[in-house]
A and B are shown apart, each in its own frame.
Chain A
Amino acid sequence: MDFSSTVASQLNAGVILPEGLVIITLMVVLVGDIILGRNASRQLSYVAIAGLLGSVVALYFQWDNSQTIGFLGGFNGDNLSIVFRGTIVLSTAFTILMSIRYIQQSGTALAEFVSILLTATLGAMFLCGANDLVMIFLSLETLSISSYLLTGYTKRDPRSNEAALKYLLIGAASSAIFLYGVSLLYGLSGGEIRLDAIAAQLTDLSSGQSLGVAIALVFAIAGIAFKISAVPFHQWTPDVYEGSPTPVVAFLSVGSKAAGFALAIRLLVTVFGQVTPEWQFIFTALAVLSMILGNVVALAQTSMKRMLAYSSIAQAGFVMIGLVAGSDDGYASMVFYLFIYLFMNLGAFTCVILFSLRTGTDQIAEYSGLYQKDPLLTLALSICLLSLGGIPPLAGFFGKIYLFWVGWQAGLYGLVLLGLVTSVVSIYYYIRVVKMMVVKEPHEMSDTVKNYPPIRWNLPGMRPLQVGLVLSLVATTLAGILSNPLFNLANSSISNSSVFQTASTPVILSESIINRQSLSE
């Protein structure tokens, strides 16, 4: 038999074509930066965006692919992973749009920033499709280590340093704890690293094993909860959000979080299917704490970035309702919400970046009276924040309705009611900012706004920011009204994904064993 063709079909390397494109882009940016020097860095970031869009196209063509397992079970490019990878790639593209001006103004190298960001994207994308423990660990660390670097990117700013250090130490510790849980899984399954194989080994638990599984579960959840910044694993979030460069925060709040949720779905549903009530209980607790603490503490914030940090904690709490619901619809609602969250949160961050570029501050009080000087910014930020607060007919409203409805169907009445109540609280702090911008009289205008520079979009790097702003504004406004296709997309991404079938049927599992045997022969 022709060896190479066997290996090729075994590897099925085509499933990581989107990642391949990102890698090539990364190489082009790196090498291009070395060859062309600093002057070309802006063009290189456009190249990066083009590469990312190419990756989205590749993802599109892989939709409903029948051969989703690649690399001998190491990677699973099913529809679920495609949706999450798409979300991550888009969030990176948006992040690059908003970072060009920001990074240049901060006096650091843009192309390097883009390279690190692309690496983080790569880690996040692989994490969404990772199907064995080594793969999960490696992609998780690729994402994490690049995130630490991004957080500390403005290295002359002590706040950025401090944020990076805190993020690094807490992150490294949590990934070590996660890894300890993973090592227990390896042992408990009798030496398996593929998720479905582990699940098959864990079907009938003896008492000693079930204790081991419980410990593994808790440790694994600690790692996941850190990534999605669920209370009580959220301590890093406000500090990192406040200290690090704002585009990085935007990426962390969407891209990194989406990857965390993808990991959560895959790991919990596949491996811990036997202890579903247990992990659902833990996540109920996490969701309750996140919604309450995130929303309540956000009320007291004076810095825009810190407020958005707590708001993102609270939003993670809402998304967890879908996870706890544990049904296909529940996961679909998570996918849908994260996709919508991408636009509204990145839109809000674009506005924050724009404001801080023009004025150099992030304090909420400094926004007062902004409507007179910058109507577009005011409109965009208002729409994005109101959408985050779930005001109809904006996108966030539909996302929340879907989540709550799914939770309600799953019988999580308490959780849904808590979600409803805390979303009223969230309206309060979102509208506080809107009030600051829109309601204040001209004479109440803050000094910063009084000295607001004239709006000039033709400065270098401002155009992409404007494009990002308008795109996210349009998406936030229309995604709700035109949400039916998105709903269907989210639903079919779940219903056609092999995760949820392998958890119940061992068919693919036995195939994979055969595959492995044929390889070892």
Chain B
Amino acid sequence: MELQLEYFLLLGAALFCIGIYGLVTSRNAVRVLMSVELLLNAVNLNLMGFSNFLDPVEIKGQVFTVFVITVAAAEAAVGLAIILAIYRNRDTIDMEQFNLLKW
């Protein structure tokens, strides 16, 4: 059986959907952050798949993936820092408790 591009894309899409599900249902801020990471990894899978099948010479997709991973790390760092700050002030990271600002 040959590995086809569709499998990568399907896996990516599945991962993306799991990420979205996690984003919507999680109450814990760290879990939300993890769900965002899932989304980014779905993107990475897509890029790698496309890069392998469509752009094997210049592998721009793989380069892109490196950038995404880097930025995701930065985002996670900032996110965790903010969560840490809010934990110090509020002693909780439960999203439902964050209701100082409401419309």
Contact = CB atoms under 8 A, between A and B. Distances in A.
Interface of A: 133-134, 137-138, 141, 145, 148-149, 152, 155-156, 158-159, 161-166, 168-169, 172-173, 176-177, 179-180, 182-184, 186-187, 190-193, 238-239, 242-243, 297, 306
In the A-B complex, the 10 residue pairs with the smallest Cβ-Cβ separation, listed nearest first, are A191-B55, A176-B39, A187-B50, A183-B46, A191-B54, A161-B86, A239-B101, A172-B36, A158-B89, A141-B71
A440 B67 CA distance: 57
- The bracket for how many chain B residues form the interface is 35 or more
Contacts of B102: 239
A145 B42 contact: no
B6 to A, nearest CB: 11
A169 B33 CA distance: 7
Contacts of B86: 158, 161-162, 164-165
Contact of A161 (B50, B74, B89): B89
Contacts of A187: 5, 9, 46, 49-50, 54
B99 to A, nearest CB: 8
A85 B91 CA distance: 41
A255 to B, nearest CB: 19
B39 A177 contact: yes
Given A186-B60, A191-B58, A176 B78 contact: no
Given A134-B64, A183-B47, A191-B54, A149 B39 contact: no
Contacts of A163: 101
A155 B83 CA distance: 11
Interface string B29-48: 10011011001101100110
B32 A166 contact: no
A149 B90 CA distance: 18
Contacts of B43: 176, 179-180, 182-183
Contact of A168 (B9, B50, B78, B89): B78
Contacts of B83: 165
B79 A168 contact: yes
Interface of B: 5, 9, 12, 16, 19, 23, 29, 32-33, 35-36, 39-40, 42-43, 46-47, 49-51, 54-55, 58, 60-61, 63-64, 67-68, 71, 74-75, 78-79, 82-83, 85-86, 89-90, 98, 100-103
Contact of B74 (A134, A141, A190): A141
Contacts of B33: 169, 172
Nearest to A167: B82
Contacts of B36: 169, 172-173, 176
Contact of A172 (B51, B75, B101): B75
B55 A190 contact: yes
Contacts of B100: 158-159, 162, 243
Contacts of B39: 173, 176-177, 179-180
Task: Name the residue in B19, B50, B58, B101 with the highest tally of chain A Cβ atoms < 10 Å from its Cβ.
Answer: B101
Given A152-B82, A158-B90, A182-B43, 4 more contacts: A134-B63, A162-B98, A187-B5, A191-B60
